[in-house]
Amino acid sequence: MTTSTPAARRVVVVSAGLSQPSSTRLLADRLASAVVAAGASRGVEVEVETVELRDHAHDLANALVTGFPAGDLRGAVDTVGSADAVVAVTPVFSASYSGLFKSFVDVLDPESLSGVPVLVAATAGTSRHSLVLEHAMRPLFSYLRAVVVPTGVFAAAEDWGVGDSAGSALAERIERAAGELADVLAGLPAASARRAATADPYEEPTAFADLLQQHSGQQL
């Protein structure tokens, strides 16, 4: 008797850092490593692929004008659209996600993240911007009908200290968020099966006259 090996879960990390290197990419890499480790502890193999939006800045500008992604950007969009889970990390600009990050979200198919678990994270120079996760990132992915894990990860400049309480607090948030994402992945079917089973309950609405008939028992 042979036993089938569970398929690896594909986690796509979207990093919107502008500089190279950047604190945004640093946080993205730490989250990716934490998700892999958390998955392994739960018996789930996790494969990570990173989409660096900085590399697609020109194609994103063209896509906003032409209405469709082309070239390498098309591949990045397809990569995110076929993921079992997404880790989305953006720097903060004007108290919200960056324009580069939003431009990428704008070229995604509106249904591509429906039902997909997402871990949101952000970086900024000061902790005053920490609420960006709740007032900008979480509503954005909720609008796309993604499943946002409870813990978001925000890293300010002071969080990158080594060996101090701030660095330990960041490591704890990363571990907790990664564990939540791994918990979801451990119970997920394949991405294709999940999306096939996702139905819009308002796609074929019941006529109002039929609803009235159900309650009155009379033919209208």
Q: Each residue of 107-154: pLDDT tens digit?
A: 999 899 999 999 999 999 888 888 999 999 999 999 999 999 999 999
| Average pLDDT estimate for 87-105 | 95
Indicate whether 131 belongs to any domain.
Answer: yes
Specify the range with the lowest mean pLDDT, choosing from 83-97, 102-116, 176-190. 176-190
Residue 152's domain comprises 9-216
Indicate whether 207 belongs to any domain.
Answer: yes
Q: Can you give the pTM of this predicted structure? A: 0.81
**Per-residue pLDDT, 23:** 94
**Per-residue pLDDT, 95:** 86
Confidence of residue 74 (pLDDT cuts 50, 70, 90): very high
Residue 193 confidence (pLDDT) above 70: no
Confidence of residue 177 (pLDDT cuts 50, 70, 90): very high
Helices (H), the chain: 23-41, 57-66, 72-81, 99-107, 132, 138-143, 165-186, 191-197, 208-216
Q: Which long-range contacts (CB under 8 A, 24 or more apart) does 95-100 make?
A: 95/129, 95/132, 95/136, 96/132, 96/136, 97/16, 97/122, 97/132, 97/136, 97/137, 97/140, 98/16, 98/18, 100/16, 100/18, 100/53, 100/54, 100/57, 100/60
Residue 33 confidence (pLDDT) above 90: yes
Triad 11, 157, 136: Cα angle to 5°:
55
Indicate whether 1 belongs to any domain.
Answer: no
Residue 202 confidence (pLDDT) above 60: no
| Average pLDDT estimate for 20-45 | 95
Indicate whether 23 belongs to any domain.
Answer: yes
Indicate whether 4 belongs to any domain.
Answer: no
pLDDT, the chain, mean: 86
**Per-residue pLDDT, 6:** 66
pLDDT above 70 covers what percent of the chain?
80
Amino acid symbol at 133 = L
Confidence of residue 192 (pLDDT cuts 50, 70, 90): very low
Specify the range with the lowest mean pLDDT, choosing from 24-33, 58-67, 180-189. 180-189
Which CATH number characterizes residue 72's domain? 3.40.50.360
Indicate whether 3 belongs to any domain.
Answer: no
Task: Work out how many domains the chain is built from and give that number.
Answer: 1
The answer to whether residues 164 and 154 touch, using CB atoms and an 8 Å cutoff, is: no
**Per-residue pLDDT, 168:** 84
**Per-residue pLDDT, 190:** 45
The span from the first CA to the last CA of the chain, in angstroms, equals 61
